[in-house]
Structure 1
Amino acid sequence: MEDTAAGLRRSVGEAHRLVVKVGSSSLTSPGGGRLDERALTDLVDVLAARRVAGGQVVLVSSGAIAAGIGPLGLGRRPTDLATQQAAASVGQGALVAAYQAAFGRHGLTVGQVLLTADDTTRRSHYTNARRTLERLLELGIVPIVNENDTVATQEIRFGDNDRLAALVADLVGAGGLVLLTDVDALYDGPPSRGGARRVPLVTTSAELDAVTIGGTGSAVGSGGMVTKVEAAGIAGGAGIPTLLTRLPDVGAALSGADVGTVFAPAAATQASRKRWLAHATTARGRLVLDDGAVSALTDRRKSLLPAGITAVSGSFAAGDPVDVCAADGRVIARGLVNYASGELPRLLGRSTRDLARELGPAYEREVVHRDHLVLL
């Protein structure tokens, strides 16, 4: 196990293209009212050295909302969306300016890339984001990625930058993902309690069954250890190892030191489009199936036909992602639907042959084709 962990640490540390995510609590003062210039500079010094040596780095940085708390005269992170957006509008400029100054001391230029979940939900936006990031890296720029909190609505938010970082790592084909937080590693219980032990290596999701994972760990962040473990799983599904540690240890971590927790990538990965469906989309509705349709999808890998659907909920257009559920409500798959939510109710339980005969040949098609469906 030690050899496996050491090999994975080397793999992340030596990756030519690396995605690094840093959380709000690591970059701001304890109250979250201002940026911690020393912490930011220490991080940039490590990443700039890597870039100058020939590597490529994409930095996914939280901190915009936290950095805007002080200038707006707020005592804590706002809870309502409008004030969060106002804080992000003020704080994002300060955050990027600080990064530009810090990287500029190393002769490097940064480029700001703001994304919403909608940019990864819609395929055309997704490919455009990838093209932009690739071009920035080709030009020697260090992309600074953040969720676009100034315009994101509650329905289209990533909710945290850990998931965003994992999706970006997949997007750019990174060789490693580094998640920096205010806790030095994953522990088998709350680190604040005595007796909790560091988990140096996670090779399978089953190993996490014995681990008590906490939620949001700071007053200025929106994520927590749960979101970091989920992000490691998303990256692992793309064949990307993940290293979790705290900001002060990032230099040692990238040098292969035994710090933090390293997550092994999955042995078998899904195709890029399937990963996109599973992790980069937000379902706009739900389709409930009978047992026969569930078996056809999961056992025989068939497309979803109207005959097997018993109920429809949500509001969606043709081409939107929807969750596909068993009768008990379990989500078994996600796919791109060929019909709008208003069209489907009259089609339920009927064969495509009957529908084509009554409504025309355009209705002799799947509700979700198997090529646009991923089992969850």
Structure 2
Amino acid sequence: MLESIKPMSKGQEELLNALTNSNYNIIGVFGPTGTGKSLFSLAYSIDAVSTGKFRKLIVAKPIVDVVTQEELTRKEYDKYEDMVKDYIKDVLGGFAEEKTIDDLFSSGKIEVLDSRYLRGRSFNDSIIFLDDVQLMKPESVLELFIRSGKNSRLIIAGDPVFQTLSNEADSSEIIREVLLNEKDAKVVDLGIKDIVRAGTKRGIRLLLEYKLRSRKLSEAEKKVMDSAKIRAPDADIITVVEFSEEKKKLNITSEHVPDALIVVKEGNAGRLIGKSGERINGIESDTKMKVRVVELKLDFKDMIRAVHPLPWVVKHVEDVDFQGNELVVRLKKESGGFIGQKGVNIRLVEYVIKQMFNVGVRVIQPNEENQS
């Protein structure tokens, strides 16, 4: 089955290589929905069980009530196993016959596990797959480490991006950090560029928009918003982020750097700026602030360019994407100017991004594993 699924991104290639590398006893794959975490993990796991490499596949996936957001236990929900079975069929649809999945269940080669009832259990000769780990308590996940026995392998999938954007407690990021330097473990980070499911990118963008529209504005931000609505009534304004005090703290005096950023829906920048800049000039006159407008897109380069003291250095940016609970900027050319003296440039960028999305910013220079 796994052979019939072709990776569609570098991240998916990395995941496939990790799954097929027997040197890793634990694989953690983290990223937003639609990146293929469950598809590749389940396809590999079912192949491994079907060929006799492992005796059994153990699947643990929280079942959450969409109304109460409470996780249902196996004792509370009599269709618990059916829900998980349907989820497996949905994920593997087009790659596996439903009868194949049913036969594996009926023969006992796939077992559904409620992660909160592990006492006294041990899993030998098994491949254990934990999905949606962000919805589990870290203690339950770590308990499975203890219960994983001889000739067993653990695959953990989670979405720290959604949790961070939703301002919710994030167990997946904790587990990711635990695994990063663990012996015989491999962490694969997937980002927006790895999303292949139709409609998911729009969903992520709408989630970002929802988060921004839900921001509580300061008095200074309200002032900019009110002026913008009067000056550009036909522009779809999402939010305003004001950071003049942070500029002063960092002693940034560049004329390029605005005092506030107005975020608008894609295609609305021209409406807010106005012919020959008359509208945005009016907003600046009303508020006595230097203002810049940026459209909300999943390519964050424009957003960085809008606030960075040296906008030209953005040409050195190869990629900007979520990794864990950070927005990671990868540079294709080493650039001290991007970070700035004593890190002031990137600190300003991080301040603005954090105000908007509640995530930190990390810079990776060429040929370096970790630099910020």
- Normalised by the shorter chain, which TM-score bucket? under 0.3
Bigger Rg, structure 1 or 2: 2
Q: TM-score, normalised by structure 1?
A: 0.28
